[in-house]
Amino acid sequence: MSNNDLFPDMEPGETRVMSAEDYERLQNMQRQKARLEKEQEELRKQQEKAELKRLLPIKNNLAVTDELAHEVCERVSAGELTINVCQDAHMPTIRRLNQWLRDNPEFQQLYNQSITDRLAIFEEEVIQIADDASRDFKEVTRAGKTIRVSDAEVIARAKLRVDVRFRHLKAGKPTKWGDTSTLITKSEDEFDPANFSADELEKQIADIEHKSKIIKPVK
């Protein structure tokens, strides 16, 4: 709530000294607004809870159809989370969906492909989120001056979103997104150290060190 709510005739840019009575009035109006918003939010949650309770038996016993199965896979392929898909009234619960997957191999195969398709979306989003700096700064007023400062909360949230997608990518595409220390690359040269395991390299080094001790240099 702004001063204009208290002084409707205030012109843009105009400032006024607020009396103690006006300040108290403004505080009361703000408290009333916050209380009303809280009551409305609680009412909304109660309505959602009642609706979920009504729909739960239906969603838990929903029969699989080609239309629903394809909708699930299409939405997952487009980047949507399965838990969000299943929140829709016409969709099954997560528990029921898992039963569908266990009982329908073809659906399971299509769903697995959808998960892979979603990883491609996550790859794009990693770059998109990292490149988006439109909300990295906010305006604050200090000593009567408005300045732009970095918004640590927004930046931390963006970093978390990127990290979550990295976790999915490392699990779903370990060859491409796994840590470099876990990647195995081999050359055609059988003597290339990259072709040996850590234990094999240790053995090779030990053998070389042993031979260097027993072979005398030629004079």
Q: For residue 102, report the phi and psi dihedrals to the nearest 5 degrees.
A: -70, -35
Distinct helix (H) and strand (E) counts, the chain: 9, 2
**DSSP code at position 182:** G
What would the two tokens of residue 81 be? 């989370």
**DSSP code at position 11:** P
Q: What is the pLDDT of residues 17-53, one digit of tens each?
A: 667 887 788 888 888 888 888 888 888 888 877 877 7
Length of the chain: 219
Alpha-carbon torsion 146, 149, 153, 157, what sign?
A: positive
The type of residue at 202 is E
Q: For residue 140, report the phi and psi dihedrals to the nearest 5 degrees.
A: -130, 155
Contact (CB, 8 A) for 130 and 161 = no
The DSSP H or E segment spanning 150 is strand 145-150
Measure the CA–CA gap between 161 and 166, rounded to whole angstroms. Answer: 9
What would the two tokens of residue 72 be? 């699930």
pLDDT tens, position by position, for the chain (219 residues)?
445 555 566 666 556 666 788 778 888 888 888 888 888 888 888 887 787 778 888 899 999 899 999 999 999 999 999 999 999 999 999 999 999 999 999 999 999 999 999 999 999 999 999 898 888 888 888 877 888 888 889 899 899 999 988 888 988 988 888 875 444 445 555 555 555 555 565 665 566 555 555 544 444
